Amino acid sequence: MFDFSDGKRYNSFVGYFRKVYGERLQKIVLDAGFTCPNRDGTVGTGGCTYCDNAAFHPGYSTPGKTLMQQIDEGIEFHKGRYRTAEHYLAYFQAYSNTYAPVDRLKELYLEALSHPAVTGIVIGTRPDCVDEEKLDMIADIADGNLLPEPEWSRSVGGKKLKKPVVTVEYGIESCYDRTLKRINRGHDFACARKAVEMTAGRGIDTGAHFIFGLPGETAEMMKESTDMINALPLRSVKFHQLQIVKGTRMEKEFAAHPEDFVRFALPEYMDFIIDILERLRPDLYIERIAGEVPPRFVNETPWGLVRNFELLRMLDVRLEERDTFQGRSVMP
């Protein structure tokens, strides 16, 4: 079996950072006031059919606050949940966080890195919102250039970091063009592949987000998409089950055509995710296996109010019961 951290049977996000940096690095979600080309008319209007961005970020993260204020409030928020966390990643999450001129992006990223508790940045964006100039600038930051202080360093896990942790995280959502068109993504999978290759080719850690349960996809199609995911030069992946958020176009589509959707009961989803993990490259680290949306944003909570940490415990138990691990089906 592959040598995973923390005694896990999969390559966990927390374990990866503990192995590389000697301690947990906690993300702080930021809203830097960006929008999306799929909302402002550049690519489309109305956004993706499933999306209500307010359902996916915490209350301390609002565009009316400065980045420093959001970071300070985020640290206080997480102190109650993760008492051992000492260093943080500034997570530019809301909307498309490379959708601005390169000088404005650089200003925002460097501002976040100037906070003494911030050891790096995570940039969430769309594949159609990057270009050579933006990625060159991000690579310069990752290489230790352009930093806000001449002697930028952070003491993490007993050693000095001279370069920040930098990750670009793409919302890809599906590997199937038919699905991407149906959910009004405004780009195809070839666009996503190109963006990932351009990013990873510059030595930038690259992550991707995928949704399971999108309309028109069978469980077998979702499992088969792991072959396409494995072929991408990614460092990390996030998986979410589809959640039908109130007021979205997806809510209306689900009401009209529920037969087009695969809806997993929780025990079924656990076995499904393990089937996915078995097919994934073992070097990919797993940031999430499921998403959480506050109950006020949905009409039903079919899994109850189970939290993400509880899901991870259930995953550990089920992996033990099945005596399996990430990458089992692809390892020689």
Residue 225: give the domain boundaries: 5-322
Number of domains in the chain: 1
Say what the pLDDT of residue 27 is: 92
**Six token digits for residue 59:** 């209350």
What is the predicted pLDDT for the residue at 47? Answer: 83
Spatial separation of the C-alpha atoms in residues 184 and 103, rounded to whole Å: 29
At residue 83, the pLDDT reads: 64
Residue 289: which residues within 8 A CB-CB, separation 6 or more? 239, 273, 311, 312, 315
Which pLDDT does position 1 carry in this prediction?
65
Measured at the alpha carbon of residue 110, what is the angle toward residues 106 and 111, in degrees to the nearest 5?
A: 115
Residue 140 lies in a domain: yes
pLDDT of 304 strictly over 60: yes
Q: What pLDDT score does 82 carry?
A: 65
Q: What is the mean pLDDT of residues 294-319?
A: 88
pLDDT recorded at residue 268:
97
Contact 93, 29 (CB under 8 A): yes
Confidence of residue 54 (pLDDT cuts 50, 70, 90): low
Q: For a pLDDT cut of 90, what percent of the chain falls above it?
A: 68
* CATH code for the domain in which residue 245 is found: 3.20.20
Q: Residue 246 falls within a domain, yes or no?
A: yes
Q: Is residue 331 part of a domain?
A: no
- Please report whether residue 269 resides in a domain: yes
The reply to whether 330 falls in a domain is: no
pLDDT per residue as tens digits for the range 174-212: 999 999 999 999 999 999 999 999 999 999 999 999 999
On whether residue 232 sits in a domain, the answer given is yes
Residue 329 lies in a domain: no
pTM, 2 dp: 0.94
* Partner residues linked to 155 by β-bridges: 160
To 5 degrees, how large is the angle CA 38–CA 43–CA 45? 50
Strands 159-161 and 154-156: antiparallel
Instruction: Provide the mean pLDDT of the chain.
Output: 91
- Contact (Cβ atoms closer than 8 angstroms) between residue 244 and residue 254: yes
Between the CA of residue 70 and those of 164, 193, 211, 250, what are the distances in Å? 19, 32, 27, 31
